[in-house]
Amino acid sequence: MKTKLIVVLGPTAVGKTALGIELAQAYNGEIISGDSQQVYRQLDIGTAKATEEEQSQARHHLIDVRDVTETYSVYDFVKEAQEKIEEITSRGKLPILVGGTGLYLQSLLEGYHLGGQVDQQQVLAYRAELEALSDEDLGKMAEQAGYDSSQTSRRRLIRTLELAQFGKELENKPTPYQALLIALTDDRQALYDRINQRVDRMMEQGLLEEVTWLHQNHPTAQAAMGIGYKEFFPYLDGQISLDEALDKVKQSSRRFAKRQLTWFRNRMKVEWYQVSDPQYKEKIRGAVEEFLHD
């Protein structure tokens, strides 16, 4: 029997954290963060990490599991998330994956449950390289490898190239998860307003102090490349004004939200819920009830 898993995903600032906590409380669940930045200790405000109060309302996993000097990859996430799902279900709890890092979520749920003797980290690293390419470039690579790309989806192109790269060593296994994918969205302007307001709240909470500490101590770390941090570095170096830095953070966050929406729409089969719909939580509860009792 496959392990049932709830996945709450969507763009930044749409309300994933709050919904995840509500579902965890209602259905005896625990939350696994699916965010590439929330793994870092001491980076709390800029990553929109669940607060201590929020974490006290439902148990959270894969938050604060790396120092800012360490790296974190899709391979690390898949391995550790699989371990946490097994641990949570062994205690009779429902695992609830909450996050917006599309590659991480898709890597866990699709195509990475691989057999054979191939190094799994190599496969994941290669997949990350392919995901960064355009559909046109993927098609050209597939044709160069001797495959017809004209009637093939992006997902199949990537899988074809993986097989071409690793050959017989790569063997698919059925996914061990039965997942309900709950995707939150909103009207574009409403979402952008939420993003702008959240950045303003972060500043009130002490974001600039957090960024200054990171800039002074670990400016070249992988963690420092995250949105909400790197945009302030030119300000701290005296190259732009604080207002300009804030505008850059908001702009980068809005663009990131757009990329997230595109990823989830084009690469993952999800059920969308409009958070401006007064009944969206009721609809989600209905979907969860049906899923859990199926």
The answer to whether the CB of 231 falls within 8 A of the CB of 209 is no
pLDDT at 116 over 60: no
pLDDT at 20 over 70: yes
- Residue 123's pLDDT band (cuts 50, 70, 90): confident
pLDDT at 118 over 70: no
98 is in an annotated binding site: no
13 is in an annotated binding site: yes
29 is in an annotated binding site: no
118 plus 72 within the same structural domain:
no
For tokens 């059920």, what's the residue? 271
CA dist., res. 194 & res. 146, Å (int): 47
- Which of 145 and 130 is assigned the larger pLDDT? 130
103 plus 128 within the same structural domain:
no
228 is in an annotated binding site: no
Q: What is the pLDDT of residue 59?
A: 98
Tell me which residue of 58, 264, 81 sits closest to 177, measured CA to CA.
Answer: 81
- Which of 170 and 272 is assigned the larger pLDDT? 272
pLDDT at 114 over 50: no
Q: What is the pLDDT of residues 62-99, one digit of tens each?
A: 999 999 999 888 778 988 999 999 999 999 999 999 99
Q: What is the mean pLDDT of residues 102-131?
A: 73
Instruction: Supply the range of the domain harboring residue 284.
Output: 3-108+176-292
Residue at which a domain ends, from 172, 192, 211? 172
- Residue 151's pLDDT band (cuts 50, 70, 90): low
Residue 7 neighbours by CB under 8 Å, 6+ apart: 34, 96, 97, 98, 105, 109, 179, 180, 181, 182
Q: What is the pLDDT of residue 110?
A: 76
Report the CATH number at residue 190.
3.40.50.300
Pairing of strands 3-9, 114-115: unpaired
CA dist., res. 77 & res. 96, Å (int): 15
Locate 195 and state its tokens: 């993003």
90 plus 224 within the same structural domain:
yes
User: Count of H helices and E strands in the chain?
Assistant: 12, 8
pLDDT at 171 over 70: no
195 plus 104 within the same structural domain:
yes
11 is in an annotated binding site: yes
> b or e along 72-85 (b: 16 or more beta carbons within 10 Å of the residue's beta carbon)?
bbbbbbbbbbbebb
Number of domains in the chain: 2
200 plus 255 within the same structural domain:
yes
153 plus 276 within the same structural domain:
no
Q: What is the pLDDT of residue 115?
A: 45
CA dist., res. 121 & res. 127, Å (int): 10
10 is in an annotated binding site: yes
61 plus 119 within the same structural domain:
no
62 plus 183 within the same structural domain:
yes
101 is in an annotated binding site: no
Q: What is the mean pLDDT of the chain?
A: 90
CA dist., res. 223 & res. 83, Å (int): 23
- Which of 264 and 149 is assigned the larger pLDDT? 264
Q: What is the pLDDT of residue 113?
A: 46
102 is in an annotated binding site: no
Residue at which a domain ends, from 124, 144, 172? 172
202 plus 90 within the same structural domain:
yes
Q: What is the pLDDT of residue 178?
A: 95
| Least reliable range by pLDDT among 33-42, 71-80, 160-169, 256-265 | 160-169
Give the highest mean pLDDT range of 90-99, 106-115, 137-146: 90-99
Residue at which a domain ends, from 154, 172, 190? 172
Q: How far apart are the first and last CA of the chain?
A: 12
52 plus 130 within the same structural domain:
no
61 plus 98 within the same structural domain:
yes
CB atoms within 10 A of CB 155: 14
126 plus 75 within the same structural domain:
no
